[in-house]
Amino acid sequence: MGESGYLGDQPRMGFFTDTSVCIGCKACEVACKEWNGVPEAGGLDLLGMSYDNTGALGSNTWRHVAFIEQPVPSTKDVPARDVVALGMPAVGAPAPDEEPGVRWLMSSDVCKHCTHAACLDVCPTGALFRTEFDTVVVQQDICNGCGYCVPACPYGVIEKRKSDGRAFKCTLCYDRLGAGLEPACAKACPTDSIQFGELDELRERAAERVTTLHDSGVAEARLYGHDPNDGVGGDGAFFLLLDEPEVYGLPPDPVVTTRDLPAMWKRAAATAAGVAAAVAVSFLGRRR
């Protein structure tokens, strides 16, 4: 068994989400709900948060498209970094000689399918398991609704569904993968912002994309979740961002929340052994 818990010869599969070409169409959200039978979170509620009507990832939102508005100055003062790879103004930037406007940063968020998945560590029933594709899935027929996985996730992805109390999240369309199909969200994405494939190949492709953007003047382009040496051992779903992770609602330095469990159990065992020894010594002393 490898460091990630991977059990088979199947290459690790995952997502690369290139936010620089996301247009915020929400086709991924719709496709995810339709294929997986995910219920509406609350209809078409207006949350007062730009054009975002879903708010965040949760039990009823396995893909969430965030809309982040950023003010931009007049185009006379717009630096080269606000020009995308195709040589066009950044989304929402004013046309030449126009007044200051708004730049849109859009990103389709999803479960990260962590290499070191804390949700797996804390699940007492085995409802959470790692598949042959090295993705993390919840088996609803085994989940008892304990909710231990909810606070364990460093990204706040998993949520218990109020209607039945069980935990739900993205499965990376496990049923589709078994049939040789790509996940519904990637299939529906019209700009290839969401790319699915072998994780090693996606990482190479993402590195090339960042280089292309940097060469085109988009200096702020960076990858998030691709590093196998980060606090969760790298993500099975990683991103190309055009700003700091916090701008997109992502933790800058995610850490697997169960990393200290082995040391804690060792200390607990040592303490228990010490107490047992003290009780034994006390009991034997009294007998004498």
Q: What is the pLDDT of residues 46-71, one digit of tens each?
A: 666 667 878 889 999 999 999 988 88
Amino acid identity, residue 220?
A: E
Q: What angle do CA 203, 208, 212 make, to 5 degrees?
A: 145
Q: Determine whether the annotation assigns residue 74 to a binding site.
A: no
22 is in an annotated binding site: yes
Strand partners, 237: 15
14-24 CB burial, b ≥16 within 10 A, e <16? bbbbbbbbbeb
For the segment 203-240, what is each residue's pLDDT rounded down to a tens digit?
999 999 999 999 999 999 999 999 998 989 999 999 99
The neighbouring-strand residues paired with 49 are none
Predicted pLDDT at 40: 78
Pairing of strands 194-198, 13-18: antiparallel
- Residue 273: what pLDDT? 60
pLDDT score for 2: 34
- Tell me if 153 is assigned to a ligand binding site: yes
CA distance 38 to 56: 15
Flag whether 66 is marked binding: no
Is the four-CA dihedral 160, 163, 165, 171 of positive or negative sign? negative
pLDDT reported for residue 248: 94
| Residues 35/176, Cβ–Cβ less than 8 Å | yes
Residue 103's pLDDT is what? 84
d(CA 78, CA 95): 11
In single-letter form, the type of residue at position 22 comes to: C
Residue 245 labeled ligand binder = no
CA atoms within 13 A on the CB side of 260: 6
φ, ψ for residue 122 (rounded to 5)?
-100, -10
Architecture of domain 13-257: 2-Layer Sandwich (3.30)
185 is in an annotated binding site: yes
Q: Which residues of the chain have pLDDT under 50?
A: 1-7, 81-93, 264-266, 268
**Rounded to two decimals, what is the model's pTM?**
0.77
Q: Return d(Cα 48, Cα 50) in angstroms, integer.
A: 6
Quickly count: other Cβ atoms within 10 Å of residue 129's Cβ.
15
123 labelled ligand-binding: yes
So what's the pLDDT on residue 147?
Answer: 95
> Is 88 annotated as a binding-site member?
no
Q: CA 217, CA 9: separation in Å to the nearest integer?
A: 40
For CA atoms 15, 225, 244, 242, give the dihedral sign: negative
Residue 264 is assigned to a ligand binding site: no
Element (H, E) at 14: strand 13-18
| Residue 119 marked as a ligand binder | yes
Q: What is the pLDDT of residue 86?
A: 36
| 114 known member of a binding site | yes
Task: Determine if residue 198 is labeled as part of a ligand binding site.
Answer: no
Q: Determine if residue 277 is labeled as part of a ligand binding site.
A: no
Q: Is 232 labelled a binding residue?
A: no
The separation between CA 174 and the C-alpha centre of its own chain, rounded to angstroms, equals 16
Contacts of 109 (CB under 8 A, 6+ apart): 17, 57, 63, 64, 65, 66, 248, 249, 250
Can you state the percent helix, strand and coil of the chain, rounding each to 5? 30, 20, 50
Backbone angles phi, psi at 236, to 5 degrees: -80, -10
Residue 258, pLDDT score: 79
Q: What is the pLDDT of residue 71?
A: 83
